[in-house]
């Protein structure tokens, strides 16, 4: 019984660590732009498709370890590159203008990137190179899966690096001022356009790493991945409080644990329903998120009416 | 008229209902990613009414619209404190919950030796009321467009009325509207219910034309498309959503010009259009200019 | 030092500035009066490079500022203390000050400037690691001024620094304005509190409906019937 609970918690935290990275990328974009990037999931899917494409073309020619590393690099770089495209086309031209237009524009580009990706690899299921041959280890009654450990390790590492980048660098200072108060950031001479672009790219990279961790665990990528990763990132972000990076980490972990416990208790069909249900409840009861400052975040939203 | 044309024109009409539903909320200042939920609820409700309960088609469609209104009103009431993105995401969450709940829901009865009714992810087949009542695809197409024209007429008349002006005012500046004595919260709940009814009516028509529905049809894609149609067409008039649908489905999908590349082309075009006209083709200023064009000469004559 | 000539700034079709000309002498405290909606904040934002004028020229020490981005303007030596203070509410006091020095690269000097400012504003030092959003209105105003000073400006622009503050705090702010001016910083401020401004400012401009309608020294302001009625609230000459 205790073992089951610990096992469920462990599975949930591992899944949640990847959700956390998806949420952090999403929330960073929102923080600097005050805009929702609907093509976020599609850009991550594009990265995943590039990785799978590489495996399908160069699968036999490369040693497995090299293929895994190369796929990781291609996935993260692809997500970042697609992010660059989205920022330049949908958000930079409309900065300071209509937020709804920017959002709808990013939706149109979601469709575009998704179709382009499926043109690269038309099959529904595409194998994605995974690093581990062992399926799992037994530790007493607990089952440890290597990709779970990898996810936890990488997520912690990325969180530490990102924290250092945002707290201890000049770029981080610019990002935080822009997220905190765009008007004041302008007054102290921060170049909003350039900072937004760079933060957007950094966020795409973080999201790309999160996507890679998910794909390695799934060992495949499908056309549903764009929608799926956006949903997970969105729920993680909103549970924790819009625009807050620590909130997104907490929200991601909570989402992972909620899903795992829901599945353990009621079966796999209920998993997604629980995730969306939790989001709806939190929005209705505590819109600022479980960890955010409700009043403050709502102020921003009301002020920056989309 | 060819079957293809009848199907296409019917389709444009039905999708315009969802787009109008999203548009009505946009005018009131709310973004919804979730109008597909009421389209779906309307489809299921109307289908159940005519198939399992043996109601006449008209009552079934009305029941679909009512179910959509109840769903929209419920979500509107629960989220009345939410603005902007928070409202948008709450509507999305509700729509996904609805879709996933329909995936789990089974309600079947034997009719004519066959089990009929919603069957979870396998959907709901055999909604044949319209065709056993003698509707042909062509006459059903006309029915769709008559109902659509009626809905649009009501919306246009409403927009010109005082309540319509109050709605637009509340959308543009809720604080000012409140100061001028508009009960913004109530207005928003009523608008959400009306938008739900419009989507629900479209859903009922959809179920009866296709005779088969499944939860997957009512996913986020439909909702965000509906929203996008409203913006592309323009926020100035209720014709905007129809124009948005016509551009996407009417021209790009039907012409098959860019087969396999439609979304690449459409997506790029929309992004460029919105840089040029952030409030759509028929935005408020354009509509005012057009209206002047048609009214001033009469006054001078 | 600062020469604004025939500046027109518009929001869409509405011209908020309809050809504004004024100048700020080096070493002076110059005060801009005017009713709400006259375009005072728009003028400040235009000078700061945050808004782009449709026409006209803004020269600072001989350089043209129109067309320069906001960061360039800060680099030239102009700092803005925006209306409503606008601190970074979630960041600590120290981080707010660091943001003020964002465009500087002389790290050693930045650290010593920080200490100097803490000596000048002891209340900020006490709350150095507190989020700025938790400070009182007066403290936030001090922080906004200190943050602007972190860029080592030659010209400090202040947009209604006394708005919504208690009289004692307002006096404190004007005391600091005088001190900064004696240290050699030129001050250009928008102020509704003409009584306080009369005590420190050397030159006044009045803006109404997007235009400068009066310019003069403090003595002339006190003599002007219209200004006296609108801004000093009495008909009695001082």
Helix (H) or strand (E) holding B116: strand B114-116
pLDDT value of residue C238: 41
Residue numbers in A near C102 (CB within 8 A) = 170, 173-174, 177, 188-190
C-alpha distances (whole Å) from A54 to each of B36, B173, C163 are 37, 51, 62
Q: How far apart are the C-alpha atoms of B51 and B57, rounded to whole Å?
A: 9
Torsion-angle region of A20 (φ positive above 0: left; ψ -120 to 50: alpha; else: beta): alpha
**10 Å Cβ neighbour count for C130?**
14
Among B84, B97, B266, beta carbon nearest to A273: B97
Q: Read off the pLDDT of residues B200-229 as tens digits, 9 standing for 90 and up.
A: 999 999 999 999 999 999 998 899 889 889
Contact A176 C87 (CB under 8 A): no
Residue A12 has pLDDT above 90, yes or no: yes
Helix (H, G, I), strand (E, B) or coil at B223: helix
Mutate to test the interface with B, among A97, A98, A112 (most CBs of B within 10 A): A112
Please give the ipTM for the structure prediction.
Answer: 0.89
Among C69, C86, C133, beta carbon nearest to A187: C86
Contact A115 B263 (CB under 8 A): yes
Contact C91 A190 (CB under 8 A): no
A275 Cα to chain C: minimum distance (Å): 29
- The residue segments making up the domain with residue A177 are 2-130+144-303
B275 touches chain A (CB under 8 A): yes
Q: How far apart are the C-alpha atoms of A159 and A177, rounded to whole Å?
A: 20
B278 touches chain A (CB under 8 A): yes
Task: Please state, rounded to an integer, the average pLDDT across all residues of chain A.
Answer: 89
Residue A76 has pLDDT above 90, yes or no: yes
Helices B84-104/B220-233 angle, 10° precision: 140
Domain count, chain A: 1
Q: Read off the pLDDT of residues A243-282 as tens digits, 9 standing for 90 and up.
A: 888 899 999 999 999 999 999 999 888 899 999 999 999 9
Residue A59 has pLDDT above 80, yes or no: no
* Residue B184, token pair as written in the block: 């913004």
A112 Cα to chain B: minimum distance (Å): 4
C158 touches chain A (CB under 8 A): no
Q: Which residue on chain B is closest to A268 by alpha carbon?
A: B104
Which A positions 102-141 lie with beta carbon below 8 A of chain B? 102-105, 107-116, 119
A59 Cα to chain B: minimum distance (Å): 27
Residue B251 has pLDDT above 90, yes or no: no
Residue B301 has pLDDT above 60, yes or no: no
pLDDT value of residue A65: 86
- Spell out the domains of chain C, with CATH numbers in brackets: 2-89+152-232 (3.40.50.300)
Q: Read off the pLDDT of residues C113-130 as tens digits, 9 standing for 90 and up.
A: 999 999 999 999 999 999
Query: Which residue shows structure tokens 């207005």?
Result: B187
CATH number at residue A156: 1.10.3470
pLDDT value of residue B297: 54
Contact A269 B271 (CB under 8 A): no
C63 Cα to chain A: minimum distance (Å): 18
Task: Please state, rounded to an integer, the average pLDDT across all residues of chain B.
Answer: 88
Q: Read off the pLDDT of residues C132-182 as tens digits, 9 standing for 90 and up.
A: 999 998 999 999 999 999 999 999 999 999 888 889 999 999 999 999 999
Q: Cα Rg for chain A, rounded, in angstroms? A: 19
Among A101, A242, A280, beta carbon nearest to B97: A280
Structural domain spans, chain B: 3-300
pLDDT value of residue B35: 96
Q: How far apart are the C-alpha atoms of C63 and C74, rounded to whole Å?
A: 13
A296 touches chain B (CB under 8 A): no
Angle at B17 between CA B276 and CA B219, to 5 degrees: 85
Identify whether A222 is part of a domain.
yes
E strand map for chain C = 2-11, 14-24, 29-33, 55-60, 63-64, 78-81, 155-159, 186-190, 203-208, 211-216
Task: Give the lowest-confidence range in A57-61, B136-140, C188-192.
Answer: A57-61
Q: Read off the pLDDT of residues A124-174 as tens digits, 9 standing for 90 and up.
A: 999 999 887 777 888 888 888 888 999 999 999 999 999 999 998 999 999
C89 touches chain A (CB under 8 A): yes
Among A173, A189, A296, beta carbon nearest to C151: A189
Residue A158: which residues within 8 A CB-CB, separation 6 or more?
A21, A206, A209
Residue B44 has pLDDT above 50, yes or no: yes
Helix (H) or strand (E) holding B124: strand B124-125
Contact A188 C102 (CB under 8 A): yes
Label each residue of C73-133 as H, E or C: HHHHCEEEECCCCCCCCCCEHHHHHHHHCCCCCCHHHHHHHHHHHHHHCHHHHHCCCCEHH
Binning pLDDT at 50, 70 and 90, where does residue B66 land?
very high
Q: How far apart are the C-alpha atoms of B40 and B64, rounded to whole Å?
A: 9
A115 touches chain C (CB under 8 A): no
Residue B107 has pLDDT above 80, yes or no: yes
C110 touches chain A (CB under 8 A): no
Q: What is the DSSP letter of B278?
A: T
pLDDT value of residue B290: 82
Task: Please state, rounded to an integer, the average pLDDT across all residues of chain C.
Answer: 89
Identify whether A139 is part of a domain.
no
Contact C86 A181 (CB under 8 A): yes
**8 A C-beta contact, residue A3 and residue A141:** yes
């Amino acid at each position: 019984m205790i073992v089951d609970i610990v096992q469920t918690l462990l599975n949930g935290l591992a899944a949640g660590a990847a959700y956390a990275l998806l949420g952090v990328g999403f929330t960073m974009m929102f923080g600097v732009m005050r805009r929702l990037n609907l093509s976020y999931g599609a850009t991550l899917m594009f990265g995943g498709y590039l990785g799978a494409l590489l495996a399908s073309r160069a699968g036999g020619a490369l040693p497995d370890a090299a293929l895994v590393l190369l796929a990781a690099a291609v996935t993260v770089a692809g997500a970042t590159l697609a992010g660059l495209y989205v920022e330049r086309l949908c958000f930079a031209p409309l900065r300071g203008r209509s937020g709804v237009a920017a959002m709808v524009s990013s939706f149109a580009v979601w469709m575009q990137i998704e179709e382009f990706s499926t043109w690269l690899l038309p099959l529904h299921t595409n194998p994605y190179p995974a690093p581990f041959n062992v399926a799992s280890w037994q530790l007493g009654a607990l089952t440890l899966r290597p990709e779970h450990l990898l996810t936890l390790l990488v997520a912690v590492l990325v969180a530490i690096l990102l924290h250092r980048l945002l707290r201890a660098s000049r770029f981080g200072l610019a990002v935080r001022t822009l997220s905190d108060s765009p008007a004041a950031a302008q007054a102290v001479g921060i170049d909003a356009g350039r900072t937004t672009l760079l933060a957007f790219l950094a966020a795409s990279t973080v999201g790309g790493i999160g996507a890679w961790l998910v794909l390695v665990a799934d060992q495949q990528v499908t056309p549903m991945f764009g929608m799926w990763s956006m949903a997970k990132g969105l729920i993680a972000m909103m549970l924790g409080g819009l625009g807050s990076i620590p909130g997104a980490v907490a929200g991601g972990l909570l989402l992972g644990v909620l899903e795992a416990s829901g599945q353990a208790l009621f079966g796999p069909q209920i998993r997604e329903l629980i995730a969306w249900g939790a989001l709806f409840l939190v929005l209705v009861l505590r819109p600022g998120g479980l960890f955010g400052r409700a009043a403050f975040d709502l102020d921003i939203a009301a002020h920056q009416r989309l | 008229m060819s079957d293809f044309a009848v199907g296409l024109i019917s389709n444009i009409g039905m999708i315009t209902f969802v787009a109008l539903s999203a548009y009505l909320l946009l005018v009131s200042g709310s973004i919804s990613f979730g109008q597909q939920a009421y389209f779906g609820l309307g489809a299921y409700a109307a289908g159940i009414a005519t198939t399992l309960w043996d109601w006449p088609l008209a009552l079934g469609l009305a029941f679909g619209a009512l179910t959509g209104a109840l769903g929209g009103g419920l979500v509107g009431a629960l989220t009345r404190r939410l603005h902007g993105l928070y409202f948008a995401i709450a509507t999305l969450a509700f729509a996904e919950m609805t879709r996933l709940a329909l995936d789990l829901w089974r309600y079947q009865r034997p009719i004519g030796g066959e089990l009929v009714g919603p069957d979870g992810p396998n959907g709901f087949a055999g909604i044949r009321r319209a065709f056993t009542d003698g509707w042909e695809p062509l006459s059903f197409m006309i029915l769709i467009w008559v109902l659509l024209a009626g809905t649009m007429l009501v919306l246009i008349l409403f927009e010109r009325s005082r309540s319509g002006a109050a709605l637009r005012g509340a959308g543009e500046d809720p604080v000012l509207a409140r100061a001028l004595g508009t009960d913004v919260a109530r207005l928003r709940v009523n608008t959400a219910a009306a938008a739900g009814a419009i989507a629900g009516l479209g859903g009922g028509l959809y179920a009866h034309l296709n005779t088969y529905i499944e939860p997957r049809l009512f996913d986020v894609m439909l909702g965000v498309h509906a929203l996008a149609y409203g913006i592309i067409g323009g926020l100035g008039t209720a014709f905007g959503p129809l124009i948005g649908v016509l551009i996407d489905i009417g021209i790009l999908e039907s012409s098959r010009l860019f087969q396999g590349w439609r979304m690449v082309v459409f997506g790029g075009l929309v992004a460029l259009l919105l840089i040029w006209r952030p409030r759509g083709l028929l935005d408020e200023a354009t509509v005012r200019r057009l209206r002047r064009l048609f009214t001033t000469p009469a006054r001078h004559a | 030092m600062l020469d604004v000539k025939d500046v027109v700034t518009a929001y869409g079709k509405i011209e908020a500035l309809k050809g504004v000309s004024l100048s700020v002498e080096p070493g002076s405290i110059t005060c801009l009066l005017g009713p709400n909606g006259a375009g005072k904040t728009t003028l400040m934002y235009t000078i700061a490079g945050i808004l782009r004028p449709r026409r006209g020229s803004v020269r600072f020490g001989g350089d043209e500022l129109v067309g320069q981005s906001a960061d360039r303007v800060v680099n030239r030596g102009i700092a803005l203390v925006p209306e409503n203070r606008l601190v970074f509410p979630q960041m600590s006091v120290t981080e707010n000050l660091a943001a003020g020095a964002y465009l500087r690269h002389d790290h050693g000097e930045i650290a010593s400037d920080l200490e100097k400012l803490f000596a000048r504003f002891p209340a900020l030092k006490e709350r150095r690691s507190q989020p700025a959003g938790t400070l009182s209105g007066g403290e936030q105003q001090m922080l906004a001024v200190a943050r602007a000073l972190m860029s080592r400006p030659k010209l400090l622009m202040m947009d209604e620094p006394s708005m919504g503050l208690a009289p004692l705090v307002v006096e404190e702010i004007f005391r600091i304005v005088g001190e900064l001016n004696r240290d050699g910083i030129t001050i250009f401020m928008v102020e509704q509190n003409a009584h306080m401004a009369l005590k420190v400012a050397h030159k006044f401009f009045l803006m109404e409906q997007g235009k400068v309608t009066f310019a003069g020294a403090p003595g002339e302001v006190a003599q002007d019937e219209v200004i006296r009625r609108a801004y000093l609230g009495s008909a009695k000459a001082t």
